A and B are shown apart, each in its own frame.
Chain A
Amino acid sequence: MTDIPLAHVLILSSLLFTIGFVGVVVRKNTLFMLMSLEVMLNAVGVAFIGAGSVWQEADGQIMFMLILTLAAAEVAVGLALLIRMQRRYRTLDIDVLSKMKG
């Protein structure tokens, strides 16, 4: 059992998570926002796998399976909305969607 200390796994997943988060915040194109969402979810998957392996339990991996299904569902709905946005606003720039204010 390659004894990678738990801290390293957690730090890796946190880094990956922050990369994904920054991707959501910075990217202007909606498609890339969805992609960075995926990155964040996968980062969490890594954390779960790491934690699961430390405790020698399958819970972590089951949770990862659930996260995968979640990611799939979200992307499906996200892409559907993407198409609607493209048809309605002819652009994928996210800042078009900011009419409600105050």
Chain B
Amino acid sequence: MSTSPEITNSVILSTEMFIALSPILLLSFGIVLSLLLIAWRRSQKMIALFTQFILVITLLLTIHLLSGDILVGSGTQITTLLNVDRFSYLSFVLICISAFVVVSLSRSVLKSEVEVHDEYYLLILLVVLGAGILVVSDHFASLFLGFEVLSISLVGLVGYFREHEHAVETGFKYLILSATASSFMLLGIAFIYSQTGNLSFAVSSNVMPWSAQPLQIFNSVGILLLFSGIAFKLSLAPFHFWSPDIYQGSPTPITLLMATVSKVAMFTVLIKCCFSQNYFNNESFIEIITVVALLSMLVGNILALKQQNIKRLMAYSSIAHFGYLLIVLTVSSLQNTEFAWQGALFYLSAYLLANIAIFTVLLISEKHRDNMSGDRDIHIVDWHGMFWKNRLSAVLVIFSVLALAGIPLTMGFVGKFYLLNQAVIFKSWWLISGLVIGSGIGLAYYLPLIFALFKDEKTLENQVVDGSGVYLVTTGKQLFMFTLLISSLLFGIFPDLVSQFIYR
């Protein structure tokens, strides 16, 4: 239910604003076109190709806008709701890339079904649209709108394959919990609105009207509730309970979608909201951030320790990673928000790359096992000896796991280095020790995962993968995996390639 702004008179939307917003407009136009396409001819291949086409066009347009000079400085304000600046469109680039990957991966998953799944692609486009709105939002209403578009379409996607045993359970859990979270967030927004009187992120101190005296308690509780809603979506520590089950229950491409698109969007909007409202000099907010960050670093890593199911393991590791990312928020003054943004974006791109790689290999081994009957989830034991059977995917997994663990030679390390830079500058010693202990515990489950690839016990007790174990991987997939490997290595050793693109 996207509202297309062209109908209102043009004074609100000048051409320059129109250009600035063009990627998101193009996206929504694309959704409408795909609806028409479904109405015209229902063919699985057509809709998939069209969605990929739309995403590529949006991506190219955003990159063109970025390389241009429209988005310099604090960015253009489009109506009070949206504010487009460099960093939001940089994260939108990340979102489009991962959405494109999700769409191309799910083409092979959907092929095995019998009826046509065009609404699957539509929902993915809606998720991307929601993320797009979130990324550029500057107002609580647009935040709320983006949040809801994202969550509702994800609910549809999460329980997509009806005959999977956990489909209903996952759908229901996600629906109820995201509804609760959004209502908590709304309550928070209501409280903040009642105190400050304005819903937009831009700080304006209009005076309290005559009767009500300012109730400071509601303002800070409001901020807390707002943060809890966002924290739910980022699956940070105290609100992380939903993510393992949903990650495990939903189909793999959708898990990837959730792990990348929704989290990147939510984190960008969290940074935008914090920096524009300069919450960072609000002392209690920093305290909450530190507590939540520490909790998620420890809980995320500890929970993953003996986890055998790879999807749940990825869920826990993403909890931990967003715990690390929260360090970015503990900025001490306005002018080094620039540096915080760079650190966050670099770390997010490293995290994305690693997740995409692991989920691609996960999908391949799942597809291989599907035609072997039994659709049980992939466990670490299924990946035994993969290094000796198909080397490329094993090397890819090794490097992405190392990136997640933050070992040099990979992009993850440079990301962690930036975070540490941030933490050391602002002397947040608690977060540093949390980071050190967290990555120490993290190694205790990343390393067994890597060693499992090398184990080639001849006697596989639960014979899941057949003797040969050599997956037949289409050349397209191999090429894709090869590019992923090369890019993760290249960006790891020469991080300047990425950062000079961010730092302009």
A contact residues vs B (CB 8 Å cutoff) = 3, 5-7, 9-10, 13-14, 17, 20-21, 24, 30, 33, 37, 40-41, 43-44, 47-48, 50-52, 54-57, 59-60, 62-63, 66-67, 69-70, 73-74, 77-78, 81, 84-85, 88-89, 94, 97-100, 102
**B388 contacts partner chain A, Cβ-Cβ < 8 Å:** no
- Asked whether A66 lies within 8 Å of B141 as measured between CB atoms, the reply is yes
Known: A6-B215, A37-B176, A77-B156. A99 touches B166 (CB 8 A): yes
**B190 contacts partner chain A, Cβ-Cβ < 8 Å:** yes
Residues of A within 8 A of B144 (CB): 63, 66, 70
Question: 9 A-B Cβ contacts within 8 A?
Answer: A9-B194, A10-B194, A13-B187, A17-B183, A37-B179, A54-B197, A63-B144, A74-B175, A81-B171
Residues of B within 8 A of A55 (CB): 193, 197, 209
- Asked whether B212 lies within 8 Å of A6 as measured between CB atoms, the reply is yes
Which of B182, B244, B312 contacts A70 (CB under 8 A)? B182
Measured in the bound complex, the distance between the Cα atoms of B185 and A44 in whole Å is 10
Residues of B within 8 A of A94 (CB): 172
Residues of B within 8 A of A51 (CB): 190, 193-194, 197
- Asked whether B148 lies within 8 Å of A73 as measured between CB atoms, the reply is yes
B196 to chain A, nearest CB (A): 9
**B50 contacts partner chain A, Cβ-Cβ < 8 Å:** no
**B162 contacts partner chain A, Cβ-Cβ < 8 Å:** yes
Which of B173, B175, B191, B312 contacts A77 (CB under 8 A)? B175
- Asked whether A67 lies within 8 Å of B197 as measured between CB atoms, the reply is no
8 A-B pairs besides A41-B186, A69-B1 with CB distance below 8 A are A10-B194, A37-B176, A44-B187, A51-B194, A57-B197, A62-B141, A85-B168, A97-B172
- Asked whether A6 lies within 8 Å of B183 as measured between CB atoms, the reply is no
**Interface residues on chain B, size class:** 35 or more
B9 to chain A, nearest CB (A): 19
Residues of A within 8 A of B189 (CB): 63
- Asked whether B172 lies within 8 Å of A100 as measured between CB atoms, the reply is no
Measured in the bound complex, the distance between the Cα atoms of B194 and A97 in whole Å is 39
Interface majority SS on B: helix, strand, loop or mixed? Answer: helix
Measured in the bound complex, the distance between the Cα atoms of B411 and A84 in whole Å is 44
Residues of B within 8 A of A99 (CB): 165-166, 169
The number of inter-chain residue pairs (CB within 8 angstroms) is 130
**B452 contacts partner chain A, Cβ-Cβ < 8 Å:** no
Measured in the bound complex, the distance between the Cα atoms of B145 and A66 in whole Å is 8
Interface majority SS on A: helix, strand, loop or mixed? Answer: helix
Which of A24, A56, A98 contacts B169 (CB under 8 A)? A98
- Asked whether A63 lies within 8 Å of B211 as measured between CB atoms, the reply is no
B contact residues vs A (CB 8 Å cutoff) = 1, 140-141, 144-145, 148, 152, 155-156, 159, 162, 165-166, 168-173, 175-176, 179-180, 182-183, 186-187, 189-191, 193-194, 197-199, 209, 211-212, 215, 218, 244-245, 248-249, 307, 312
- Asked whether B176 lies within 8 Å of A44 as measured between CB atoms, the reply is no
B224 to chain A, nearest CB (A): 13
B139 to chain A, nearest CB (A): 9
Determine the residue in chain A with the shortest Cβ distance to B159: A81
- Asked whether B186 lies within 8 Å of A33 as measured between CB atoms, the reply is no
- Asked whether A100 lies within 8 Å of B245 as measured between CB atoms, the reply is yes
- Asked whether B169 lies within 8 Å of A44 as measured between CB atoms, the reply is no
Determine the residue in chain B with the shortest Cβ distance to A42: B183
B167 to chain A, nearest CB (A): 8
Measured in the bound complex, the distance between the Cα atoms of B171 and A92 in whole Å is 14
- Asked whether A48 lies within 8 Å of B193 as measured between CB atoms, the reply is yes
Residues of B within 8 A of A40 (CB): 180, 183
Measured in the bound complex, the distance between the Cα atoms of B386 and A12 in whole Å is 60
Residues of B within 8 A of A63 (CB): 140-141, 144, 186, 189-190, 193, 199
- Asked whether B175 lies within 8 Å of A81 as measured between CB atoms, the reply is yes
Which of A3, A9, A69, A97 contacts B168 (CB under 8 A)? A97
Residues of A within 8 A of B176 (CB): 24, 33, 37, 78
- Asked whether A47 lies within 8 Å of B191 as measured between CB atoms, the reply is yes
Measured in the bound complex, the distance between the Cα atoms of B199 and A13 in whole Å is 19
Residues of A within 8 A of B166 (CB): 99-100
**Nearest 9 CB-CB pairings of A with B:** A47-B190, A51-B194, A6-B212, A97-B169, A40-B183, A44-B186, A55-B197, A100-B245, A51-B193
Measured in the bound complex, the distance between the Cα atoms of B178 and A77 in whole Å is 13
Residues of B within 8 A of A47 (CB): 187, 190-191, 194
Determine the residue in chain B with the shortest Cβ distance to A37: B179
B64 to chain A, nearest CB (A): 32
A89 to chain B, nearest CB (A): 8
A24 to chain B, nearest CB (A): 6
Known: A7-B215, A41-B186. A60 touches B193 (CB 8 A): yes
Which of A43, A56, A89 contacts B187 (CB under 8 A)? A43
